[in-house]
Structure 1
Amino acid sequence: MKSLKKLLPLLLLPLFAFTAVHKYYVSVTHVNYSEKDKAIQITTRLFIDDFDRLLMARYDLDAELATEKESPLADAYIEKYLRTKFLVSIDDRPVEYDFIGKRYDNDVMVCYIEIPEIDLSAIKTVEIENAMLTDLFEEQQNLVHINLKNKKKSFVLVKSRAKGMLNL
C-alpha cells in the first residue's frame, strides 16, 4: 500500500503535463437602438489584459489599464484603435460614431459607442466590421449581436471574415 502511495503521483504526473491552460481570445459586442435617444448604442466587451498587450505592441503605450497607474493617454489610444478596427456602415455608407467612454468589470473592459440622430425606419442595412485584436491574436473571435427593428442576428467575426450585415 505504501508503494502505491509513492507510485500514484508518478502515474498522475504525465496527465497534468497535457492540461495546459488554454487562453480564449474573444470579444462580445451588442448593437441596439434606443428609441428614447434616437441612437444606435453599441457596447463591446474585451479582456483588459489583451487590450493592454495590444496598446503596448501597436502604440508602445504601457497603459496599465484598470490600475491606479493607468496612463492618462489610455482613452485616446483606445478610441484611436477602435476607429481603425471597429467600423459601422448604414445602407452601404460608413458612419461616424461617438466613443462615449469605458468602464471596467472584473477582467473586462466595456467600451460604449453611440451613433446619434438615427431614423431607424429609413435604414435598410447595418454592417459591422469588427477586426479588434485580430492584428495581435490570430485566434481572436469577435462575437457581434445586432438587435434592430425587432430583427436579431449574431456573427462570429474573425481575421479572415471581419464583417457582418443585418438586412432590415
Structure 2
Amino acid sequence: MQKLKFLLPLLCFVYLSLSAGVRHPLHVSTAELSFNAKEKSLEVSCRIFTDDFESILAKLYKQKTDLSKPSMKTAMDEVVKKYLISHLQIKVNGKPVLLQYVGFEIDHEATNIYLEASKVTSMKNVEVTNTILYDLFDDQMSIIHVTNGKTRNSNKILFPDKTFTTNF
C-alpha cells in the first residue's frame, strides 16, 4: 500500500491539470497488466496523453497523425500497433509473451491502447520493459500495475530506467 502513496497525488494533479484545460506538465504513461486465469491470458492496457503520443508517432513514422479522426483509423491502428509492440515487452515466468494488438480509443486527453497475450497458464513473476515516449522525453515516468487474482503490485519507472519486475 505504501508503494501506491505516490500515485494518488500524481494522478490528482494530472487530472486537475487536464480538467482545467492546462497543458500537462508531467510526462507520464500507465500500463495495466492483468492475468485472466479463466481465459489463460494476460490483458494489457496502456494510457498515454494523446498529444504526446501523436507527437512521437509523427516523429518516428514521418506521417500525418490524428488519432481522433475516424477516416485515419486504419492507418493509425498500424502505427499504434507498431509503436506499442516495439516499446513494451513483457516476460511472464521468465519467458517473453507475444502481445497481440486489440485496438485503441480516445478518452478525453488520453489514448487507451489494448493488447493481449494468450496461452499464459500461470503468472508467478512478471518483467515489464517499458520505453513508451522515451524517445521524446528525458523525464518520462511510467506507472506499472500488475494484477494476479486479488494481488496487485505497482511501481513507477523513471527515465532512463526501463524495467519493473514483480513476483506473486
Which range, TM-score by smaller chain?
0.7 to 0.9
**How far does residue 159 in structure 1 lie from its aligned partner after superposition?**
2.5
Does 2:48 match 1:46? Answer: yes
d(CA) in 2 for partners of 1:130, 1:92: 16
One-letter identity of the residue aligned with 1:64: D
d(CA) in 2 for partners of 1:132, 1:139: 12
**How far does residue 37 in structure 1 lie from its aligned partner after superposition?**
2.1
**How far does residue 103 in structure 1 lie from its aligned partner after superposition?**
0.9
Number of corresponding residues: 147
TM-score w.r.t. the length of structure 1 is: 0.80
How does 1:62-77 map onto structure 2 within 5 Å? 62-68=64-70, 70=72, 72-77=74-79
The verdict on how the C-alpha distance between 1:77 and 1:115 changes in structure 2, with shifts beyond 3 A counting, is same
The verdict on how the C-alpha distance between 1:73 and 1:32 changes in structure 2, with shifts beyond 3 A counting, is same
d(CA) in 2 for partners of 1:102, 1:71: 9
d(CA) in 2 for partners of 1:46, 1:106: 11
d(CA) in 2 for partners of 1:75, 1:143: 23
Identify the residue that residue 151 of structure 1 maps to in structure 2: 151
Contact 2:88-2:130 within 8 A present in 1 as well: yes
CA deviations over 1:113-150 (Å, ceiling 9, x no partner)? 11112112xx4311111110011011111100111143
How does 1:13-162 map onto structure 2 within 5 Å? 23-68=25-70, 70=72, 72-120=74-122, 123-162=123-162
**How far does residue 22 in structure 1 lie from its aligned partner after superposition?**
5.7
d(CA) in 1 for partners of 2:71, 2:37: 38
Name the larger-Rg structure.
1
d(CA) in 2 for partners of 1:21, 1:119: 42
The verdict on how the C-alpha distance between 1:125 and 1:72 changes in structure 2, with shifts beyond 3 A counting, is same
d(CA) in 1 for partners of 2:159, 2:24: 20
One-letter identity of the residue aligned with 1:85: H
d(CA) in 2 for partners of 1:37, 1:145: 20
The verdict on how the C-alpha distance between 1:68 and 1:101 changes in structure 2, with shifts beyond 3 A counting, is closer
d(CA) in 1 for partners of 2:89, 2:136: 18
CA RMSD of aligned residues (A): 1.8
Contact 1:131-1:157 within 8 A present in 2 as well: no
TM-score w.r.t. the length of structure 2 is: 0.80
d(CA) in 2 for partners of 1:80, 1:161: 22
* Uncovered stretches (5+) of structure 2, i.e. residues with no partner: 1-21
**Higher mean displacement: 153-162 or 126-135:** 153-162
CA deviations over 1:29-87 (Å, ceiling 9, x no partner)? 11112234221111111111111100111111211111345363211111111111100
